[in-house]
């Protein structure tokens, strides 16, 4: 199924194909049920009921209340709303924010924008395996720290941070905890109550829904989290995100959550086996090494350094294979991965690294093709 148009697609962390069941669920809202869910007429209210049901499905998927789900255009918008919203709401308490050097650019660039506006941001380093030092985090939190933002699963290496423990440390020090869970939601169980998360962001297009829809979880129970709206004009989404709702996208996101809840365990076993086979075979190639922790990582991702190679050249020569040399959101900028450099890789090794991210439509044939092609391309000439 992944080899449509003769392409073996191993770039699921960048984006996923739409599940046909998700497409079927959203199509009626692109055709006959096209109304505005905010309209007061009967047609609009019927559609609003579908949005309400979808919100409940998404909330149930991460164990939150429906009123705690804010629909957005994706994780990047959710990240901006969360970080800037907290900064503006809590600036009387303090102006210090903590994040990590290996975060997605959505978090890093948002924090840098706040620095230009007078906020102080600490960008914590990571260890060679990509994990954050909890002792360093604890030492870095100050009385004026208002937010700690740490990515759940890294998009380039798949490294999983201990978010539950991080949340505990942040709360003990009186700070809020936010996580960009874009690469976690839909792949592994995410329970915002159990994990103690205050703010959580994710996108539909990483979990077999279309691009252009995502969500922000904003905790309201137990610990009140206040955000200042960043988009004005209509007061939609309890005043936090104005704009006519993307009803087809919202319906699609809810369906994707429903499917994930039913198939996550099965997908995990199949995808994990494929990833492990791929990784085992590729690491047989001379001068290769794994980037990131061997065990504390998501099951669909492997990031491998092919020392002495140029990742961009390899990608360009694999016309029928889709893999990545980093985040798709940064691919317009030709420079070493900031994630890998933060983990201590020199520029040449970072530029020689490839990310392989698998999904539920991959097959063993995809794996065999990729291994065969890369072995051929990396053979000494």
Residues with a catalytic annotation lie at 329
How far are the Cα atoms of 65, 231, 246, 321 from residue 37, in angstroms, in the given order? 20, 19, 9, 41
Rg of the chain, C-alpha, whole Å: 21
What gap in Å lies between CA 367 and CA 359, rounded to an integer?
12
State the Cα torsion 324-326-332-335 to the nearest 10°.
-120
Compute how many other C-beta atoms are within 10 angstroms of the C-beta atom of residue 235: 12
Q: Could you tell me how many helices (H) and strands (E) the chain has, helices first?
A: 12, 12
Burial bucket for residue 333 (CB in 10 Å: 0-12, 13-18, 19+):
exposed
Query: What is residue 132's DSSP assignment?
Result: P
The CA distance from 157 to 303, in Å, is: 5
Contact criterion met (CB below 8 Å) for 97 and 114: yes
Cβ–Cβ < 8 Å for 164, 192:
no
């Amino acid at each position: 199924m992944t080899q449509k148009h003769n392409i073996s697609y191993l770039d699921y962390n960048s984006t996923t194909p739409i599940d046909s069941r998700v497409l079927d669920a959203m199509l009626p809202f692109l055709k006959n049920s096209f109304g505005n869910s905010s309209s007061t007429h009967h047609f609009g209210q019927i559609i609003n009921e579908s949005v309400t049901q979808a919100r409940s499905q998404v909330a149930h998927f991460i164990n939150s209340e429906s009123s705690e789900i804010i629909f957005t255009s994706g994780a990047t918008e959710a990240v901006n709303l969360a970080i800037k919203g907290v900064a503006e709401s809590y600036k009387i308490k303090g102006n210090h924010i903590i994040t990590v050097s290996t975060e997605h650019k959505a978090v890093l660039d948002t924090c840098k924008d706040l620095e230009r506006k007078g906020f102080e941001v600490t960008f914590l380093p990571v260890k060679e395996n990509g994990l954050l030092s909890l002792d360093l985090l604890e030492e870095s939190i100050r009385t004026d720290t208002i937010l700690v933002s740490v990515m759940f699963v890294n998009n380039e290496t798949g490294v999983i941070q201990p978010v539950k423990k991080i949340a505990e440390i942040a709360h003990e020090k009186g700070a809020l905890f936010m996580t960009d869970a874009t690469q976690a939601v839909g792949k592994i169980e995410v329970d915002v109550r159990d994990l103690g998360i205050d703010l959580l962001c994710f996108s539909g297009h990483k979990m077999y829904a279309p691009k252009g829809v995502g969500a922000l979880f904003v905790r309201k129970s137990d610990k009140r989290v206040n955000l200042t709206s960043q988009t004005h004009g209509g007061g939609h989404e309890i005043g936090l995100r104005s704009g006519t709702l993307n009803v087809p996208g919202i319906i699609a996101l809810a369906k994707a959550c429903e499917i994930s809840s039913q198939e996550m365990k099965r997908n995990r076993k199949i995808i994990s086996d494929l990833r492990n086979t791929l990784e085992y075979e590729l690491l047989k190639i001379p001068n290769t090494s794994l980037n990131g922790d061997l065990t504390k990582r998501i099951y669909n991702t492997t990031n491998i350094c092919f020392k002495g190679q140029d990742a961009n050249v390899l990608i360009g020569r694999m016309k029928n294979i889709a893999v990545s040399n980093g985040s798709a959101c940064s691919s317009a900028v030709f420079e070493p991965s900031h994630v890998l450099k933060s983990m201590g890789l020199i520029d040449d090794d970072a530029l020689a690294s490839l990310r392989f991210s698998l999904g539920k439509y991959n097959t063993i044939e995809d794996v065999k093709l990729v291994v065969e092609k890369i072995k051929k391309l990396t053979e000494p000439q």
